Structure 1
């Protein structure tokens, strides 16, 4: 499931980046900047800071603790072992949460794939969705975690190249340079008349999500040596910053290039720019970067879903004696089921890549972020506190999302993360951990000093 914990620093770094950013980096963010300007860049600032903190404070501790805690291979598995939950309730709650929010996350990738095939091949959206989903699910079946991580590495390289070449090519054109002198200054301002405190906090709060993303955390768990995480962090952060700058530049380039004829769908700006700036061969290769971004994320998500279904449901509750071949079959059936539900969600014509990613990101960040942090840093954190944290975080995101106006315009990850963290501490004070759980944490802390 974790590739035998043999991943190298470079592969880990780009696998984290590629599986993290997905089609959102080439479709959602450039589209948002195309519409609203650099005011949307605050998402990037929040993400960079959150990712850096995640690498700095979570990666090493999680890598060591998951191995110390009975060699935990999944996040629910780690939670169960961390809190010595013999009843399995914590694993069940966390596994269900993963499957629910990954369905929406996978749906965002399917929407991105459908947009790609619709625009490139002129297909009907529903047919494009069907073809894209089939390709993505089939691709996931080809290899396990190790193979997926290596393909993520190469896909990450392609994404980076595409995000550099496209805006450079557009800005190099004389017409674009002339248009740049006439651009609305508000488009180039990080703060303008549309900026609000709630909006600014919401954009920056995207960084909170990193602490709870299972497909990112699993990469930390899989690296060969905790000592490699320093180099891996440097590579990952460099890739991330350059890629985000490229995405922002793509959005601005699109607003200049298509000023006279605005695009119907802002999230197609990268596709149209690639067509406009290059011949069909190079343009096709660059557009393939979108498919790479989508596939690198969905395969990671579906792989996590597969491991949750097999390890945390089937093996735990139904057939503890199941063979490896049987587990593989069950995992693949589960992946197909998740993909089908995600496809139904993606059928909604109002769905957007950014909107679906935002919801899933908030769900994971609020439900698992506080649990991961408290599990790694506080010996007084208890099993009941962890269960309460997950439930409060997930439910707050779901309920808050349904509200509109006033304070409810605040990104749902903020109240979700805050309430979950608060409840986790309070419940753990009321219902403290067992002595064994405390002793295990002390042992982990000692092992941390030697690595």
Structure 2
């Protein structure tokens, strides 16, 4: 056996040990949280509104980023260069504003009216006695959440494949099983605690890897020289069209419409702590985004041609760069950071989707005149999580989309359908139920149509026109139907 083969075995062995240790901690958190989450549906879905401000800050940040940041953004920067930085600026700014304004109003309203889910909020705000608004929201959630969760499973498959040599579909299956285990066990408490724990893996890897890789290359100046030699546009943050700039900045418009982020605002123990959470969350948002951008740039300096990456896939840059530059144990931590990003989003989305089925459809529509025990509701919630994992897994096994675009499609659909409508519902008393229903349907349809028409999709990210259309329709219909 050659020296290189011995080294590769060592890499595999130590990386696997580090990764297994990480997974054991996650399952331990799930077991620890199981008793609390089993006590009632509020505890299972929003932690009984007792979550610590630091946990909420970190959980909101990492659940919103997913594998899109670690695999998608690093790959995008590798292909496009520094101009891709605007893809992260938009959501950082929007989420800071949400923490300081929107989140407080949503938290106070949800406590006053005992709202556990986002459909609960809409139903209470507009007196939805017939369940029409709830039903539309449930359908919207399930359409986009399956895509979103499937994208995380696909990302897990890619990470397993590029890091451990496991066949990609096998990796997709393993990712689904791991996420299912602790989400079913511990509910929202387990999800939020693991998010906070996983944030440190993501932050460490995103800061440490580019620092080491740039040093190994010869320093910052050498990296810039390499990039300039390939293409001067790679280091120009303004080397993009107006449509691309608006589309990148518009990514942030998805944040007020993605329920796995909104549920964090509803779960914090005190609305007064949201300002502190805003500072913590924004700081780590900036740090992680900067790390992802630097990884993409230094990766391009190392690998001038995409054919030099595993599978000629830019989304394999992050784990491949780590494998080449880090000690096996640290490489294991990097792989853990990828799964941290995947799991912190997928588990949150599974809970949101399950809550829409159990809380919003079963309890509030199908059995609205019956008293159902909390333990039965928690049991049904766990069963629905299992069913949703199976559906998302099947979709993920046949999905051909890149993680970056599959996530952005789901992000856009939810952002356009719920973003403008929830903002208007909180801030404009003239908003009507008919206006909200029209806005949700408009946002969903414009997202889907725009996405599947190449000439439109190439001109601008579908979230921007869909968000604007949804907001306009909500206002116009509300004025028309106002009592």
State the shift of 1:375 in Å: 0.7
- Map residues 33-432 of structure 1 onto 2, 5 A cutoff: 33-68=77-112, 70-175=113-218, 178-184=222-228, 185-192=232-239, 195-259=240-304, 262-263=308-309, 264-319=312-367, 320-348=370-398, 350-405=400-455, 409-432=459-482
State the shift of 1:344 in Å: 2.5
What's the TM-score once normalised by structure 1's chain length? 0.92
CA contact (8 A) 2:201 2:333 kept: no
CA RMSD of aligned residues (A): 1.6
The match for 1:29 is 73
Q: Distance in 2 between matches of 1:108 and 1:89?
A: 29
Q: Distance in 1 between matches of 2:163 and 2:250?
A: 34
State the shift of 1:98 in Å: 1.1
Q: Distance in 2 between matches of 1:329 and 1:8?
A: 26
Q: Distance in 1 between matches of 2:134 and 2:164?
A: 44
CA contact (8 A) 1:111 1:351 kept: no
Q: Which has the higher helix share?
A: 2
> 360-369 or 335-344, which moves further after superposition?
335-344
Q: Distance in 2 between matches of 1:28 and 1:407?
A: 18
Q: Distance in 2 between matches of 1:422 and 1:180?
A: 45
Q: Residue 313 and residue 187 in structure 1: after superposition, are their counterparts in 2 closer, same or farther (change >3 A)?
A: same
Secondary structure of 2:226's counterpart equals coil
What's the TM-score once normalised by structure 2's chain length? 0.86
CA contact (8 A) 2:57 2:277 kept: yes
Q: Distance in 2 between matches of 1:73 and 1:406?
A: 37
> 334-343 or 299-308, which moves further after superposition?
334-343
State the shift of 1:406 in Å: 5.2
Secondary structure of 1:143's counterpart equals helix
Q: Distance in 1 between matches of 2:467 and 2:456?
A: 19
State the shift of 1:408 in Å: 5.8
Q: Residue 408 and residue 29 in structure 1: after superposition, are their counterparts in 2 closer, same or farther (change >3 A)?
A: closer
Name structure 2 gaps, 5 residues minimum: 1-44
Q: Are 2:54 and 1:4 aligned? A: no
